Amino acid sequence: MKSHLQFGLRPRTYAEKKALWGFVCVLPWLLGFLFFFFVPLLTSLRYSFSSVDASAQGVTVRFVGWSHYAEALTINTSFNRTLFESIANMVVNVPLIVIFSLFLAVLLNQKFIGRTAARAIFFLPVILASGIIMRLDSTSLVQAINEANAGANIMNTFTSYELAGMMMEAGVSETVVDYLTGAVDRIYQIVSQSGVQILIFLAGIQTISPQLYEASKMEGATGYEAFWKITFPMVSPLILVNVVYSIIDAFSTNAMTELIRDTGFKSFNFGLSSAMAWIYFLAVSVILLISTFVISRKVFYHD
Amino acid sequence: MLISRWLSIEVWKRRLWSFARLVLIAGLSFVILYPILRKIATAIKDRTDLYSPIVVWIPEHFSLDNFRKAIEIMSYWETLGNTFALSAMTTILTAMSCALAGYGFARLKFRGSGLLFGGVVLTILVPPTTILIPVYLNLKDFTLMGLVPLLTGKSVNLLNSYWPFILTSMTAISLKAGLYIFIFRQFFRGIPKEVEEAAYIDGAGVGKTFTRIMLPNALPAIITVLLFSFVWQWNDSFYTTTYLTSSKVMSIQLSSLPYNLAILLTDGVNSRADPFYMSMVQDTGILLAILPLIIIYIFVQRYFVESIERTGIVG
């Protein structure tokens, strides 16, 4: 093994050997990255500027400039609406998911009877709420009729109605009330999308040293104060991580990806589909950049 | 003494909080478990109970007929075997390649490794839809830089086989592989350098250090990645429906279940199947599809819950 590596004249130093091995370790990934990611990415960019004909003879590509982009944004009937809807959905849901998962992580970190069972249940959505199951679930008729029978729907609207009335009377602005009651009504959607985020926050909270809490307790801080002065700043880097993860997750499967796929594989308009995918990618990047910029200014780093 | 304890505000505050916590956690657990319980209740019902107003949870006429129908339509056992083979294969290959890459990025720095890690982050950020079409066309006429036509004379069509999954998971670029590389890298960075140096002084090479020292220490990370990758591959409909068109795999069977159901349950041309009954069998099908995952989860959840705390995703 050793002689095999020493094809140079002088024996390699430890650092050099490590660098060589590092390259060997990364090599499989690098090949995959080039063949299945980087080249396709560039090809997709090229396709978006050209008309693509896939026939039995192979693929013929003709440059057409910006026309696919213009078509997606001005002619295609559903693109703008779908793009706007998925972005609006994301903007509404991501803050809720992050706040909710931080709250639950704090809760699940406390000691109480049945904590292991509760944790197991809260991570269950990581397994169940992905891909096809989620999509079929939303169309289940039996679920709907059962809910109507059991009066769950009536109960639901009733509670959030009461809540809305109370908050309105307390003088909270209408948009805020709508947002919060909407969150109550979509609780399952939010719970089922926050599994991984709870895991990340929980892991983060457990790295905070207990001395900090002890010291603050000695000084007379309440649990509420300890949360805002210790837990919150200490996990703030993870808030950034979770916001990024939630955004990516929200964008990985939604109506937009469906539309892009259908354009590509049902109407075989590869050029238009690539153009849509690139507009979509750019929109996602802009949102990620803005949110990263805004949050990272507030983040507290220990070192 | 006892009375002063009863009157103390502190004690009451704590009791009130634990009660509020209990209510919250029980309520949210119910929200999560509700759809599953509902599905179980629906699946064991007889068709006659569907419209009965007195049946909410416990059926009046218990029957396994729904299961029989769903198993028949989905060709369940064959599908289960295929899905299990596919998921297990990609999971193991992905975990191996991602562990290697993660170790390379974490500990074996070489010129340009920082730049390449930027590439990993890019694979996480770019939506898979963006590169879908070129990858699809590439796999349809697979040439591997013109190597395959040299050997066999023409390009091969890799679609509708397991090869796309094997190739992408071997090269750590499969479903969410960037995330797994990230997890492994963070974890390996958390293992003290001294351990590695001690192994080197004792005569272990880089390869031996990795297999004998680093991997056994990285067990929590390995379990996390294995579980995530298995589950996500099992549920994935994005890549599966693109790469495989006619294979009997769970997510494809599920996505075509409503259609197949309509064909089977419609007797004649004019008579339409009862949509509620169809939905009932469909719910049973979903339950059957996630059942293996739930069984696996019951066994590994304690490792999962414990290990995630030590994976160092947090870094």
- Smallest Cβ distance to A280: which of B31, B100, B127? B127
Residue B54 touches partner A, C-beta closer than 8 Å: no
**Tens of pLDDT along A10-19?**
667 777 888 8
Which ipTM did the prediction report? 0.76
How high is the pLDDT of residue A59? 64
> Does residue A131 surpass a pLDDT of 80?
no
How high is the pLDDT of residue A2? 47
> Does residue A205 surpass a pLDDT of 60?
yes
**Tens of pLDDT along A229-251?**
888 888 888 888 888 888 888 77
The beta-carbon contacts of A19-22 under 8 Å, at least 24 apart in sequence, are A19/B108, A19/B109, A19/B110, A19/B111, A20/B110, A21/B104, A21/B108, A21/B206, A21/B207, A22/B104, A22/B105, A22/B107, A22/B108, A22/B109, A22/B110, A22/B113
Tokens 């929590």 identify what position?
B220
> Does residue B229 surpass a pLDDT of 80?
yes
**Tens of pLDDT along B121-165?**
888 888 887 787 788 877 877 766 666 666 666 667 777 788 888
How high is the pLDDT of residue A301? 67
The DSSP secondary structure of B67-136, one letter per residue, reads HHHHHHHHTHHHHHHHHHHHHHHHHHHHHHHHHHHHHHHHT---TTHHHHHHHHHHHHHS-TTTTHHHHH
Indicate the burial class of B255 (C-beta count within 10 angstroms; 0-12, 13-18, 19 or more): middle
Indicate the burial class of A36 (C-beta count within 10 angstroms; 0-12, 13-18, 19 or more): buried
**Tens of pLDDT along A57-97?**
666 777 777 777 877 787 777 788 888 888 888 888 888 88
Residues in chain A: 303
How high is the pLDDT of residue A132? 57
How high is the pLDDT of residue B154? 66
Residue B244: partners with Cβ closer than 8 Å, 6 or more residues away: B159, B160, B161, B252
| Mean per-residue pLDDT of chain A | 77
Interface touch B104/A25, C-beta < 8 Å: yes
Interface touch A203/B314, C-beta < 8 Å: yes
> Does residue A158 surpass a pLDDT of 50?
no
How high is the pLDDT of residue A83? 85
Instruction: Give how far Cα A290 sits from Cα of A235, A251, A284, A287, Å.
Output: 20, 16, 10, 5
Residue B47 touches partner A, C-beta closer than 8 Å: no
Residue A201 touches partner B, C-beta closer than 8 Å: no
What is the distance in angstroms between the Cα of A188 and the nearest Cα belonging to chain B?
Answer: 6
Q: Which residues of B touch A283 (CB under 8 A)?
A: none
**Tens of pLDDT along B18-39?**
888 888 888 888 888 887 887 8
| Mean per-residue pLDDT of chain B | 79
Mean pLDDT of B61-67: 80
Nearest CA in chain B to A125: B32
> Does residue A188 surpass a pLDDT of 50?
yes
Residue pair B283/B39 in contact (Cβ under 8 Å)? The answer is yes
**Tens of pLDDT along B185-218?**
877 887 778 888 888 888 888 888 888 888 887 7
Q: Beta-carbon neighbour count of residue A152 at 10 Å? A: 14
How high is the pLDDT of residue B306? 62
**Tens of pLDDT along B69-108?**
888 887 888 888 888 888 999 999 999 999 989 888 888 8
Q: Which residues pair with A58 in a beta bridge?
A: A55
How high is the pLDDT of residue B91? 92
Indicate the burial class of A210 (C-beta count within 10 angstroms; 0-12, 13-18, 19 or more): exposed
Residue type at A135 in one-letter notation: R
Mean pLDDT of B240-267: 74
How high is the pLDDT of residue A152? 46
* Domain positions in chain A: 58-296
What is the distance in angstroms between the Cα of A147 and the nearest Cα belonging to chain B?
Answer: 9
What is the band of A204 on the pLDDT scale with cuts at 50, 70, 90? confident
DSSP 3-state of A50: strand
Triad A70, A73, A78: Cα angle to 5° = 135
Tokens 């349809």 identify what position?
B140
- Smallest Cβ distance to B104: which of A22, A123, A288? A22
Residue pair A267/A219 in contact (Cβ under 8 Å)? The answer is no
Q: What is the dihedral of CA B92, B94, B95, B97, to 10 degrees?
A: 120
Residue pair B158/B142 in contact (Cβ under 8 Å)? The answer is yes
Q: Taking Cα atoms as reference points, which of A286, A201, A195, A185 lies closest to residue A237? A: A201
Instruction: Give how far Cα B246 sits from Cα of A199, B135, B251, Å.
Output: 36, 19, 12
Mean pLDDT of A250-265: 75
Interface touch A40/B138, C-beta < 8 Å: yes
- C-alpha A280/C-alpha A277 separation (Å) is 5
Indicate the burial class of B179 (C-beta count within 10 angstroms; 0-12, 13-18, 19 or more): buried
**Tens of pLDDT along B102-116?**
888 888 888 888 888
Interface of B with A in 64-93 (CB under 8 A): none
Q: Which residues of A touch B297 (CB under 8 A)?
A: 120, 124, 127
Q: Which residues pair with B45 in a beta bridge?
A: B62
Residue B172: partners with Cβ closer than 8 Å, 6 or more residues away: A28, A29, A32, B94, B97, B98, B100, B101, B180, B181
Q: Taking Cα atoms as reference points, which of B78, B42, B30 lies closest to residue B277? A: B42
Nearest CA in chain A to B47: A142
Interface touch B235/A133, C-beta < 8 Å: yes
B151 against A30, higher pLDDT = A30
Q: Best mutation site among A34, A136, A269 for testing chain B: the one with the most B CBs within 10 Å?
A: A136
How high is the pLDDT of residue B307? 59
DSSP 3-state of A251: helix
Residue A38 touches partner B, C-beta closer than 8 Å: yes
DSSP 3-state of A60: strand
pTM of the complete model? 0.79
Q: Beta-carbon neighbour count of residue B60 at 10 Å? A: 11
CATH 1.10.10.10 given to domain A58-296: no
> Does residue A284 surpass a pLDDT of 80?
yes
Angle between helices A255-265 and B132-140 (to 10 degrees): 40
Interface touch A18/B25, C-beta < 8 Å: no
How high is the pLDDT of residue B148? 65
What is the distance in angstroms between the Cα of B126 and the nearest Cα belonging to chain A?
Answer: 7
Interface of A with B in 61-100 (CB under 8 A): none
> Does residue A3 surpass a pLDDT of 50?
no
